Amino acid sequence: MGKLRLLAILCFMLFLFAPLYASDTYEGKSADSQPPPVILEKQVEKTEPVIKSEPDAKPAMSESEIAPYKSNPAAVKAVEKNTALFTERIRERFSMWLSRSGKYMELMKEILKNKNVPEDIVFLSLIESGFNPHAYSVARAAGPWQFITSTAKRYGLAIDWWRDERRDPVKSTEAAANYLSDLYEMFGSWNLAMAAYNAGEGKILKALKRSKSDDYWPLLDTSYIRNETKNYVPKFIAASAIASNPEEFGFINIKYHQPLNYDEVMISGPLDLEVAAKCADTTVELIKELNPELRRWCTPPGIPVYILRIPSGTKEIFEKNLAGIPEDERFSVTAYTVKKGDTIKKIARKSGLSVKAVLALNSMERVKPLQPGTEITLPPKEKFQPDREDRYDNKKKYHKKTKKYHKNTKKYHKNTKSIKHIKTKKLNNKKVLVTAMNKKRNIAND
């Protein structure tokens, strides 16, 4: 009985304390005698607050980003080829470009910097135009950044009979910065952005898709882009290297032009450039040089306020002198009285103008009938000079007329041939050849 009682007590004690022992065992070790997994709270690193850049901020263009070409033999060859082009074949011309860069480069760099575009992009203007505001290509691209009309208007540049803002170094640089910024957003690479600036974004997107690449340099080994675009970035790299260190490439004693410096005045109503030059006590040539966007002898009519550039330090004397000139003496045009049978086309032809010019001068949007006795305005003969765009329009008009003439001539000959076609008929076992001149001659039977 004593043993049974002792066994019962032991069982009771085991039943009472076993769960506690089991619990202590789990907390101390895992089932395979390894230390239990330790659950740690997530450690949050203490970092400096992140300052988000502006939405349009772009990274600076480092050498590693803009010119990672040395591992690509085709790229190296292309850069060397263009370096030789600038330092040997067109050395004299490139020296002139470098000289002209002194006038515009710092101004353009400042604009690019304010637009969050790398300042070195300024050398695109060097290879596009040699920093020439009046550069004009066969594709009708104009200005230091060589905008075509459609792209220029898309980025806010005004182009009409009176002005062409593609030629303005400030306005065109702002437009170029915006365009290149958009291209960078699209491609994520300055090399591809520049290639697209040359070829168009559509062509570069298509080339990347076909080559299954996301980089510019592999495109050099394909036929998906033109040779001009293949050379574009290498040409930029070569020109940038030379312009940054001209002495290293043998360009010694470059005479850089003085930086562009000017005052601005607000003009209400059109103003002859001759009058502006007199008011600023300067020359018409200098007024034109400071305002290369102006295509005519005056500032554009129909604009409430036009900002005109004048030589630095002349604003006060300009405003004083202009105030003393009557309104009717500030802007010169020639009045023409419409005669019976006159049309805008006839008047334009007699005056040596384009229809577009007559419409622009008279604020007309389209050609319309003219009433005899009414007056229209024409340019003053002694001040009006056609520019390149005018000459191109006239040439285009001439070619259009020539093409129409040849088309009509061809049609005439075709009709004549059908009238004078050879007719044959049997006559007394012979063929008689009948021409339009009704002359007959016998020909032998076949």
- Spatial strand order of the sheet with 440-443 comes to 423-427, 430-434, 440-443
Q: How far apart are CA 218 and CA 158, in angstroms?
A: 38
Measured CA to CA, the distance from residue 201 to residue 446 in angstroms comes to 66
Of 80, 92, 128, 375, the active-site residue reads 128
Alpha-carbon distance values, 392 to 70, 140, 201 (Å)? 43, 9, 27
Tell me how far apart the alpha carbons of residues 322 and 269 are, in angstroms, rounded to a whole number. Answer: 12
Show the CA angle centred on residue 283, arms to residues 279 and 284, nearest 5°.
90
* 54 is annotated as an active-site residue: no
What's the CA gap between 303 and 319, in Å, rounded? 19
The token pair that represents 21 in the structure block: 């022992």
Nearest by Cα to 241 from 12, 63, 422, 96: 63
Q: In a 3-state reduction of DSSP, which class is residue 336?
A: strand
Give the up-direction half-sphere exposure of residue 260: CA atoms within 13 A in the CB hemisphere.
Answer: 24
- Pairwise CA distance, residues 168 & 159, whole Å: 11
**C-alpha atoms less than 13 angstroms from C-alpha of 204 in its C-beta half-sphere:** 27
Which stretch of DSSP H or E encloses residue 375?
Answer: strand 375-378
Task: Give the DSSP letter of residue 249.
Answer: G
Burial readout 66-92 (b: 16 or more C-beta within 10 A, e: otherwise): bbebeebeebeebbeebbebbbeeeee
Please identify every residue annotated as catalytic.
128
